[in-house]
Amino acid sequence: MLFALGLIGRVIGGAYFGNVADRIGRKPVLIIGTAGYSLFQLLLAFAPDVEVLYVSRLLEGIFMGAQWTAGTVLAYENAPYNMKGIVTGIVQAGYGIGYALTGVSYIFLGGDPRLLLLTGSLPLILVPYMKFIAEERVSSHAAHFSIRIKDYLPVLIRATAGMIGMFLAYFAVFGYYTVIADEYLHLNPDTLGILMTVANIGLAISFILFSRLADRFDKKKLIYNGVIGLLISLPLAVPFLYVPIIIPIIGVILYAFSTGFWPLMPLLLADAVPTELRGFLSGFAYNIGGMVGGIGNIILGFIGEYFGVEGLAKGIDIMGLFSIAVVFVSIITWPKSKGHVILIE
């Protein structure tokens, strides 16, 4: 529930602040989002009771939704045309790097949960730097807002479905891998910390690699390749039966690397919609995906509680296969581009 609350909050923050960013600019929302989630992470670390913990996590998620929506779109819009993919991929690679640093922190600070949580407030020191980021202001076309959303509904639906599949695929494995590693694979904590660090460094590299390739090759074909990698590595990462421990270790690293196509879905959406809607639609689709991923984690939690760790492992594999199928269907049915839209005031 605690994990899911942050993702649910991101839907609220992504939708609301995405709209704000489309109207007043990306940079102010980027600053507000980064400062907000860092401060509520600080409160979360020192929460005196579970109620404050839950509220802090929800509010942190709201500002995370603001930060991702503004930061990713700002990077996309400021990048040269032939480098939009690689720039967006580098931004998204921060997710994998951050997760890898969490693995490192777990090795040294795992015995002190509050100190471990405190590291999540460190991005606060980046806020003064953000004031120097250049941004071109975009004009607002509020009168045509509802009409344009309806016009781009097929793209939004498929982008949202694809992001739901991506979040479910990622969180199904990594949301409970500490439990799987401890009770199912019997990894010791240090090995787990190293594995999560290596896997997520690979994820960050993969984000950049897929995004760079997206500047030169068809994005949908690259996503298909990532989906194939997930299909191969999922049963290795969380095996149904006992296998030598090296197999799931390799499987997790390959699974994380195959998830590198993640930034391509926001790129497909950003390419297909006008600037004036980009923040709202990107934030909505991405963070709806995160919310459903959180709900998936709650479901897996109930499965683990009532059916034990072996039931949890089977649930992860089934949910992973379902989520991969969702990504595949969203891409194979992706609407053909109708060309650039010219907005007339």
Q: What are 49-85's pLDDT values in tens digits?
A: 889 989 999 999 899 888 887 887 788 778 887 777 7
Sign of the Cα pseudo-torsion (103, 104, 107, 110, in order): negative
Question: Model-level pTM?
Answer: 0.74
pLDDT of 14 over the 60 cut:
yes
The first and second tokens of residue 304, run together, are 């683990």
pLDDT of 227 over the 90 cut:
yes
pLDDT of 342 over the 50 cut:
no
The first and second tokens of residue 267, run together, are 């790129």
Give residue 142's pLDDT. Answer: 45
Give residue 253's pLDDT. Answer: 93
Which amino acid, residue 304?
G
Which segments of the chain does DSSP mark as H helices, in order? 2-24, 26-45, 50-78, 84-109, 113-118, 127-130, 145-151, 153-174, 177-179, 189-214, 219-237, 246-258, 264-272, 275-332
Give the pLDDT mean for 146-153.
65
- For residues 70 and 36, the model is more confident at 36
pLDDT of 89 over the 70 cut:
yes
The first and second tokens of residue 258, run together, are 């195959």
Q: Are 74 and 135 in contact (CB under 8 A)?
A: yes
Mean pLDDT score of the chain: 82
What is the C-alpha separation between 247 and 244, in angstroms, rounded? 6
Give residue 148's pLDDT. Answer: 59
Give residue 184's pLDDT. Answer: 86
List, for residues 242-280, the tens digit of each pLDDT value.
888 899 999 999 999 998 888 888 778 877 777 777 767
pLDDT of 337 over the 80 cut:
no
Q: Are 298 and 4 in contact (CB under 8 A)?
A: yes
What is the C-alpha separation between 215 and 210, in angstroms, rounded? 9
pLDDT of 143 over the 70 cut:
no
pLDDT of 139 over the 50 cut:
no
Question: Which has the closest alpha carbon to 63: 120, 141, 145, 101?
Answer: 120
73-82, 178-187, 324-333 — most confident range: 324-333
* pLDDT band, very low/low/confident/very high, at 147 (cuts 50, 70, 90): very low
